[in-house]
């Protein structure tokens, strides 16, 4: 059983943004009852906008807490009243991951950490190190919050390792989980780790995933439903028939020929 059964953008508007992007124009009576749904398509097709609108309507927490006042969510605010949803399970819990939020989060923590370090540097030698560290933790909510939730500073990890650690910590219970282009933070090897985490989670919990991606590796998770978004529509598509898969396969089979074709 899944949480969401159908979604529908109930509007006839086709302009301006966000109504003019394909993922919004063609989000009509979509059967999303699969436990794992992918939104795929070229840049600008609106897959992230659709994902953000679902997250906004569900008010799923994300890296900035539960706050959706960022400028990047203005499209979701416009679309919220026109997004119709049908549920098998009401009032879902979950989490919303955006690669850009993750990067902003780490950068903001690093900036705050650097500023506090400079401010407290004058106390070195006069105040014990453990007291300086305590002051630093108490003064910087973000660092304190990370340590409380993840056990240690994420700065000790690589970008991809930190991203996977957050996902592993947040995806612990049944719920709806939305991931926007997670491959942006992950190497191919780390994508395999993410795939394993998702499969293991679904083997033990009643949950549902919606993932916007460009990665054929992620799309290849067994039993997933793939919605391919183009200028002409949005349709359920087999992995081997998606443009992402065909381009990747063609390039890997003969990169020199493919590059010559691009030059011509």
What pTM does this model have? 0.82
- DSSP annotation of 72 reads G
Cα separations in angstroms, 157 against 12, 46, 151, 194: 47, 32, 12, 16
Token look-up 């997004």 returns 83
Which region holds residue 91: left if phi is over 0, alpha if psi is between -120 and 50, else beta?
Answer: left
pLDDT level of residue 151 (50, 70, 90 thresholds): very low
User: In sequence order, what are the beta bridge partners of 209?
Assistant: 36, 177
- Which one is predicted more confidently, 197 or 89? 197
Say yes or no to pLDDT of 234 above 50. Answer: yes
Say yes or no to pLDDT of 130 above 50. Answer: yes
**C-alpha angle with apex 31: 35 to 102, nearest 5 degrees?**
50
H/E stretch holding 84 reads: strand 83-87
Provide the token pair at 189: 């090897």
Long-range contacts of 121-124 (CB under 8 A, 24+ apart): none
Domains of the chain, earliest start first: 4-263 (3.40.50.300)
- Average pLDDT in the 132-141 region? 56
Contact partners, residue 189, CB within 8 Å, separation at least 6: none
pLDDT digits (tens, 9 = 90+) for 103-119: 666 665 555 555 555 65
Rg of the Cα atoms in the chain: 21
């Amino acid at each position: 059983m899944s949480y969401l059964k159908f979604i529908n953008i109930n509007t006839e508007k086709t302009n301006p943004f966000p109504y003019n992007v394909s993922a919004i124009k063609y989000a009509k009576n979509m059967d999303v009852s699969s436990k794992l749904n992918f939104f795929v398509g070229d840049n600008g097709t609106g897959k992230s906008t659709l994902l953000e609108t679902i997250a906004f309507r569900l008010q799923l927490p994300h890296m900035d807490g539960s706050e959706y006042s960022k400028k990047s969510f203005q499209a979701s605010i416009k679309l919220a009243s026109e997004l119709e949803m049908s549920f098998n399970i009401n009032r879902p819990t979950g989490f919303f991951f955006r690669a850009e939020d993750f990067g902003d989060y780490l950068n903001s923590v690093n900036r705050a950490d650097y500023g506090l370090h400079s401010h407290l540097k004058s106390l070195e030698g006069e105040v014990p190190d453990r007291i300086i560290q305590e002051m630093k933790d108490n003064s910087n909510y973000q660092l304190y919050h990370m340590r409380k939730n993840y056990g240690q500073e994420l700065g000790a990890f690589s970008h991809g390792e930190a991203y996977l650690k957050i996902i592993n910590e947040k995806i612990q219970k049944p719920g709806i989980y939305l991931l926007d282009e997670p491959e942006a933070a992950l190497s191919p090897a780390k994508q395999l780790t993410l795939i394993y985490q998702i499969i293991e989670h679904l083997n033990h919990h009643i949950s549902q995933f919606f993932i916007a991606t460009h990665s054929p590796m992620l799309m290849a998770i067994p039993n997933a439903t793939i919605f391919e978004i183009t200028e002409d529509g949005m349709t359920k598509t087999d992995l081997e028939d998606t443009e992402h898969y065909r381009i990747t396969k063609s390039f890997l089979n003969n990169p020199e020929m493919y590059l010559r074709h691009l030059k011509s």
